Amino acid sequence: MSGVQHRDVTADDDGMRLDRWFARHFPQLGFARLQKLIRNGEVRVDKGRVQTSTRLAEGQIVRVPPIDDPDTVRAFKPNLEDVRFLKDLILYEDDDLYVFNKPHGLAVQGGSGTVRHMDGLLKNLPNKAGEAPRLVHRLDRDTSGCLVVAKTAAAAKHFGSVFRSRSARKIYWAIVAGNPTPRQGEISCFLAKQATTDGEQMVVVRNGAPGAVHSSSYYSTTDTASRRFAWVTLKPVTGRTHQLRVHMAQLGTPIIDDPRYFNIENWQAAPGLGEGLHLHARRIALPLRNGKKIDISAPLPPHMRQSFEALGFDPDRYDAQNTDPESAA
């Protein structure tokens, strides 16, 4: 790269912080150097001065100053340990995308106090143009399973549209406290974000309340262990923050070990259960750009497999490619 560049903000980058935009498109540029360039007014958006936290909008133009001076740039070298870590998580890969089996406890994006996350790790798998792969949907930190990541801007645009249009078929497995009544059905309610000392939390609100958004999920009871536990298959229709966790709590059968939404007083867990949120993105099916479809399943994380064994649930009883039980949508 030489000279000043002017880059258009694409739909895929709409709403992204400026510092994250640079980390995606210019991973070789260190954060301290970026801050200095911004302070000096060398980085601009639509000719205006900016901050690292400035949110970008589709169609804006980012002024990128020359950054190829060896005294002002640190060469980016992939961390081989992180590369191996990511490659061990790959469930499916083609020229357009990865499907990873995201581990329980690994955040998808950075935040306050979060240093290691998928978005940061992905810079270790740059495409042929040197750009980091792009997230096209999200999972909670403590939710494991299928995570779709696009390799290019064109692929990100396609899969972003797939998720926004609800063309992706997502199936989750959960272990909940109690048995859902009825055994299968739909949960539909309005949710809004509420600030707490532990961060944002979703609460059920009336239609028309400030910030209210509609949410809908289908659920089906796959198996039970007496009346204390159930293995539930979930299919989200909308994609709200913490949606499945709130919905199961609203039904009176919260997900085991949910630190935010488990609401049963004096609860006594069964011996032998694994520790951690018992919610797993088991399966995802979605159309590719070439018109074909993929249908990918992720094996259970260790803590959920431990609980399945302790409760007598057989995760191999159902072929996830063909006979995952679910309510008709």
Instruction: Please give the positions annotated as active site.
Output: 140
DSSP class of 14: T
List beta partners, residue 213.
191
- Structure tokens given for 173: 């497995």
DSSP 181: S
Please, which residues bridge with residue 236 across strands?
217
Full DSSP string of 31-91? HHHHHHHHHTT-SEETTEE--TTPBP-TT-EEEE-----TTT-PPP---HHHHHHHHHHEE
**Alpha helices for the chain (secondary structure H):** 18-25, 31-39, 80-89, 118-121, 153-164, 243-250, 302-311
Asked if 231 contacts 308 with a C-beta cutoff of 8 angstroms, the reply is: yes
Query: In terms of DSSP bridges, do strands 279-287 and 144-150 run parallel, antiparallel, or are they unpaired?
Result: parallel
195 and 182 in contact (C-beta within 8 Å)? no
How does 101-140 read in b/e, with b if 16+ C-beta sit within 10 Å? bbbbebbbebeeeeeebbbbbbbbbeeeeebbbbbbbebb
